[in-house]
Amino acid sequence: MKKEEKNREKNKTPWPTKKVMEQVYDINLWGTNGSPFYSGEGSHSSELVNPYVEVVTTFFKSFEKPLTVCDLGCGDFNVGKALIGFTKRYVAVDIVPDLVAHNSRQFKADNLEFHCLDIAVDDLPSGDCALVRQVLQHLSNAEVQQVLVKLKAFKYVVLTEHIPEGDFIPNKDIISGQGIRIKKQSGLEVLAAPFSLKPQAVQQLLTVQLKKGKGRVVTNLYTMF
């Protein structure tokens, strides 16, 4: 039995989120570009991807020794593939087994590995920095809290979320799935209740303003310790 399966058996936790995310890809709920797996415009729009890759690459290059990076919710790896070369080790994680198998066949590098894990349930790989790009926004508050506890093990967390424009009530709960809180005029703010994350420092790396009424995509760097 694989390690992640043993963890789930130990915790007696089902895989509802896994089943939902499998369905997203099975019936192309985020669209398709001719590939059997497509993680949507958020992972392919140059407006979002290019500036993100630029700021994260700059962050990685600021270290004399390359970091070990865990990409938690790597999707179809269209974004991650541009970052591998700036890391010591790049561990890409997703919850959908067929997607992870596809990525493993498509993307090869000496410092790259893929793992199929439920980041809310399973033990996470160790590393210096976690990338969590537009992932938590799809999870219920209970699952977000489970992930945040584990993120405290990383020195750095680069967290990207799609949030509404202007003022909004943060952290309205949702059922885990393809949708996000912006449909409720809400968005994730991990420093606010009920999460109240307390990092050592916070730095905003990037804000991309979307079309009017579509909100903005914000990337923050959290130094955890």
Q: What pLDDT, in 10s, does the model give residues 155-208?
A: 999 999 999 999 999 999 999 988 899 999 999 999 999 999 999 999 999 999
Q: Please tell me what DSSP assigns to residue 78.
A: T
The encoded tokens of residue 182 equal: 């912006």
Calculate the CA 165 to chain-centre distance: 21
Give the residue among 79, 70, 81 at the shortest CA–CA distance from 40.
79
For residue 170, what are the domain limits? 3-223
Map tokens 């990207």 to a residue: 160
CATH number at 130 reads: 3.40.50.150
Residue 202 to residues 80, 148, 159, 221, Cα–Cα distance (Å): 23, 15, 11, 6
With CA atoms as reference, report the closest residue to 177 among 27, 5, 50.
Answer: 27
CA distance 22 to 116: 12
Give the tens place of pLDDT for each residue, 116-156. Answer: 999 999 999 999 999 999 999 999 999 999 999 999 999 99
Query: What pLDDT digit, counting tens, does each position of 81-100 carry?
Result: 999 999 999 999 999 999 99
Q: Which helix (H) or strand (E) holds 21?
A: helix 16-26
pTM: 0.91
Q: What pLDDT is stored for residue 150 in this prediction? A: 98
Structure tokens, 55: 């700021």
Number of independent structural domains in the chain: 1
